[in-house]
Amino acid sequence: MSGISDTERMITLKTVEGTLFDVKSSIAKDLKTVQAFIDDSDDDVTSPIPLPNVFTRELSRILDYLNNHHRFRSGIEKADEEMARYDAEFAKSMSHEELKALILAANYLNVKDLLEFLNQTVADVIQNKSVEFVRNFFGIENDYTPEEEEKLRNENEWAFNGVEQD
Amino acid sequence: MEEKKQKSINDILPLDLIQRILLRIPVKHLGRLKCVSKLWHSLISDPDFAESHLHLSLASTHACIYKKNSTEAYLIHLEEAFNDKNYKVRELSFPFKKPPPSEFRLMGSCRGFVLLHQEPHFFVVWNPLTGFSKRVSYSWLDIVHRTKGRYFRFSGNAMLYGFGYDATLDDYLLVIAWKDSNCPLLDCFSLKTNSWINLDAAVPKPLSLMEWRSRGLFLNGSIHWFSYYLEKHHSDGLLVFDLKERSFSKISLPEQLEMRDAATFFILGGCLALCSQDYVGCKTHIWVMKEYKVHSSWTLYVIPCLEFEPLCLSNDRDVVAVIYRSLKFAKYNLREELLQRFRCPLFRLQTFNWTWCTVYTESLLPFPSNSKHKDKKKKKNAI
């Protein structure tokens, strides 16, 4: 196709389920893992790039986030407020399971800004919660015996004031 | 397929991701999170993690300890106090086994530790968050004996004092200049080895004659003091003591700074700052040295009210402060130039005095211990 500049070149990504996504190369740059793959290839990448660890739901969300953020950044001044509102909605729209899955995907694809945002979101969710809640959230097994845990809680008694109820 | 998907989602997040999340959680919650699992415990207890948490400041919390009486203090979390309507000021006990015999002062803070000093009896290093404390007693005789041969009349007045950290030795140091009729005695106490180090060689001649007890502020490996001649309404600038090099230097003030009255000196958002009062325009002028030791980086902010004493910078844009005359708390947003006043519940200030109060950043850093057990007993007797 004539007349298409370098920034509008399309990259195709394939998720675990086999779904294909066409992504502008300017967006693909934010997926550092993908960009590294492209940079490492000797020829132009024409066939779909397989992403063995990424599911359709996650890739769709990530691309949605990146597309919106690119739009905000290239737009007019007022974008800061709009971006904050979008981010808040984005975080709220996910269940904890979805949030975790998205972090894993963003980490694998190395999407720096989104990952920082998701890490902050999780930090905000868990900071005031009980130990049991945090274990459930991350799917972590408690490897302390009841006695060990009792001792720990006493040692760190100062940290147990003012905790939100689950 | 669904089963398989669930399994991968419940995969434990890799360690470095967990760590990056934990770096964004305020330190006071991390004590609790140590109980999640043994892995989390070792992650959070790692001194390198505590250092990263302090330096990255992704979730730093500023707290203010204000002395209520000789045994108790108020603890105010400055970020929460102004953002949470239900915030309650806490009361804490000072870490004394029995009430001290006379007035003691809050001498400053460094990396989450607050220093209490009662002349001439003791120092206490205290982490109000975790309750850790270490007490060091000393007497005038200790000081006088070390000046042997030199005529020194000990009048018991510290001229300058400061509390800082030497990263190369992993040691917390107290620097004190004692006033003498002849010349000052510059002393340094190592809190790790519990011993005094004489630094007279480092004293700049002449040492600025501060008219009142001047507290030092620790930043970037050095202790800083503001030098001010009350009678001359003049300042020589900031006196800087590098804890690693053990040498003095000076930082000059912005030329436009008018010194009709004493300016106050503090650290704001990791930068040196000064504030002076404009009684004519009813404003407070705050000068911030945005780049350390770069004279041209002194930047002026004008606050539309008098006697606005900054305590800390919150969220990179709000200056949290106390207003002297009305004894209220206030917050000034630098970007929007908006000033808001607050009353802090359960905590009515009678007066505001910097020797009764200190602001610090909460931390979980461990206090260095002296590995030289052999000499420990010897030194303990000397103290």
> Which H or E element spans position B39?
helix B38-45
Report the residue of chain B nearest A98, measured CA to CA. B9
Cβ of B1: how many Cβ atoms within 10 Å? 7
Across the interface, whether the CB atoms of A140 and B5 are under 8 A apart is answered no
For residue B11, list chain A residues with Cβ-Cβ distance below 8 A.
104, 139
List, edge to edge, every strand of the sheet that includes B105-110.
Answer: B105-110, B113-118, B122-126, B133-137
Tell me the C-alpha to C-alpha distance, in Å, between residue B319 and each of B160, B219, B261, B286.
Answer: 27, 19, 22, 11
Q: pLDDT tens-digit profile of B305-347?
A: 888 888 888 877 888 888 877 778 888 998 888 898 877 655 6
Highest mean pLDDT among A24-38, B2-16, B71-85: A24-38
> Does a cis peptide bond (omega within 30 degrees of 0) precede residue B345?
no
Cβ of B280: how many Cβ atoms within 10 Å? 7
Please determine, for residue B85, whether its predicted confidence score (pLDDT) is greater than 60: yes
Question: Which residues 22-81 in chain A show a CB within 8 A of chain B?
Answer: 55
**Per-residue confidence (pLDDT) for residue B183, from 0 to 100:** 65
If you average pLDDT over residues A70-88, what whole number do you get? Answer: 83
Q: pLDDT tens-digit profile of B93-130?
A: 898 877 777 778 888 899 999 998 876 678 899 999 88
List, edge to edge, every strand of the sheet that includes B298-303.
Answer: B264-268, B271-278, B283-289, B298-303
Q: pLDDT tens-digit profile of B28-68?
A: 899 899 999 999 999 999 999 999 999 888 888 899 998 88
Cβ of A9: how many Cβ atoms within 10 Å? 15
Q: In chain B, pLDDT over 70 holds for what percent of residues?
A: 78
State the amino acid at position A60 in one-letter form. Answer: S
- Distance separating the N- and C-terminal Cα atoms of chain A: 57
For residue A97, list chain B residues with Cβ-Cβ distance below 8 A.
9
Q: pLDDT tens-digit profile of A5-59?
A: 555 788 999 999 999 999 998 899 999 999 998 888 877 777 889 998 899 999 9
Q: Decide: residue B188, CB within 10 A, 0-12 exposed, 13-18 middle, 19+ buried.
A: buried
If you average pLDDT over residues B16-36, what whole number do you get? Answer: 92
**Per-residue confidence (pLDDT) for residue B144, from 0 to 100:** 65
Across the interface, whether the CB atoms of A123 and B17 are under 8 A apart is answered no
Does A141 contact B at CB distance below 8 Å? yes
Across the interface, whether the CB atoms of B25 and A153 are under 8 A apart is answered no
User: What are the structure tokens assigned to B134, written together?
Assistant: 């270490």
* Residue B328 main-chain phi, psi, to 5 deg: -110, 165
State the amino acid at position B282 in one-letter form. Answer: C
Give CA–CA dist B255/B274, Å, rounded.
13
The helix/strand/coil state of A149 is helix
Between chain A and chain B, the number of residue pairs with CB atoms below 8 A apart is 82
Predicted-complex ipTM score? 0.88
Give CA–CA dist B225/B215, Å, rounded.
7
Q: CA torsion B119→B120→B121→B122, rounded to 10°?
A: 60
* Residue B21 main-chain phi, psi, to 5 deg: -70, -45
Across the interface, whether the CB atoms of A135 and B130 are under 8 A apart is answered no
Given the structure tokens 């709000």, which residue do they identify? B318
Which residues on adjacent β-strands are paired with residue B85?
none
Does B32 contact A at CB distance below 8 Å? yes
Count the helix, strand and coil residues of chain B and give each as a percent rounded to the nearest 5: 20, 40, 45
Q: pLDDT tens-digit profile of B340-357?
A: 887 765 566 667 777 788
Give CA–CA dist B201/B223, Å, rounded.
17
Question: Cα–Cα–Cα angle for B369, B373, B375, nearest 5°?
Answer: 110
Question: Which residues 74-133 in chain A show a CB within 8 A of chain B?
Answer: 97, 100-101, 103-104, 107, 119-120, 122-123, 126-128, 130-131
User: What are the structure tokens assigned to A78, written together?
Assistant: 């007022």
* Residue A125 main-chain phi, psi, to 5 deg: -65, -45
Does B15 contact A at CB distance below 8 Å? no
Please determine, for residue B377, whether its predicted confidence score (pLDDT) is greater than 50: no
Distance from CA of A162 to the nearest CA of B (A): 10
* Residue B237 main-chain phi, psi, to 5 deg: 110, -160
Across the interface, whether the CB atoms of A123 and B131 are under 8 A apart is answered no
What's the predicted TM-score (pTM) here? Answer: 0.83
Which has more confidence, B244 or B327?
A: B244
| Cα B10 from chain centroid (whole Å) | 43
Report the residue of chain A nearest B28, measured CA to CA. A159
* Residue B126 main-chain phi, psi, to 5 deg: -140, 135
Does A160 contact B at CB distance below 8 Å? yes
Widest Cα–Cα separation across chain B: 87
Tell me the C-alpha to C-alpha distance, in Å, between residue A19 and each of A12, A25, A48, A50, A53.
Answer: 10, 18, 10, 10, 13
Across the interface, whether the CB atoms of B35 and A153 are under 8 A apart is answered yes
Cβ-proximal residues to A41 (8 Å cutoff; 6+ apart), any chain:
none
Which band of pLDDT confidence, cut at 50, 70 and 90, is reported for residue B10?
Answer: very low
User: What are the structure tokens assigned to B2, written together?
Assistant: 């669904």
Please determine, for residue B5, whether its predicted confidence score (pLDDT) is greater than 50: no
User: What are the structure tokens assigned to B197, written together?
Assistant: 């180090």
Question: Cα–Cα–Cα angle for B136, B62, B340, nearest 5°?
Answer: 140
Across the interface, whether the CB atoms of A119 and B17 are under 8 A apart is answered yes
Distance from CA of B65 to the nearest CA of A (A): 16
**Per-residue confidence (pLDDT) for residue A156, from 0 to 100:** 82
What mean pLDDT is reported for chain B? 80
Which of B5, B18, B34 has its CB closest to that of A55?
B5
Q: Are B162 and B222 in contact (CB under 8 A)?
A: no
Does B35 contact A at CB distance below 8 Å? yes
> Does a cis peptide bond (omega within 30 degrees of 0) precede residue B14?
no
Across the interface, whether the CB atoms of B36 and A134 are under 8 A apart is answered yes
The helix/strand/coil state of B204 is coil
> Which H or E element spans position A27?
helix A25-28
Give CA–CA dist B51/B25, Å, rounded.
14
Which of A128, A140, A142 has its CB closest to that of B12?
A140
If you average pLDDT over residues B246-274, what whole number do you get? Answer: 84
Counting every residue written for chain B, the total comes to 383
Given the structure tokens 């009255």, which residue do they identify? B261
Please determine, for residue B376, whether its predicted confidence score (pLDDT) is greater than 50: no
Please determine, for residue B6, whether its predicted confidence score (pLDDT) is greater than 50: no
Report the residue of chain B nearest A53, measured CA to CA. B8
Does B41 contact A at CB distance below 8 Å? yes
For residue B31, list chain A residues with Cβ-Cβ distance below 8 A.
156, 158-160
For residue A104, list chain B residues with Cβ-Cβ distance below 8 A.
8-9, 11, 13
Across the interface, whether the CB atoms of A152 and B20 are under 8 A apart is answered no
Give CA–CA dist B101/B90, Å, rounded.
25
Does A10 contact B at CB distance below 8 Å? no
Which band of pLDDT confidence, cut at 50, 70 and 90, is reported for residue B374?
Answer: very low
Which of A107, A127, A135 has its CB closest to that of B26?
A127
Question: Which residues 202-241 in chain B show a CB within 8 A of chain A?
Answer: none
Distance from CA of B155 to the nearest CA of A (A): 41
Q: In chain B, pLDDT over 90 holds for what percent of residues?
A: 29
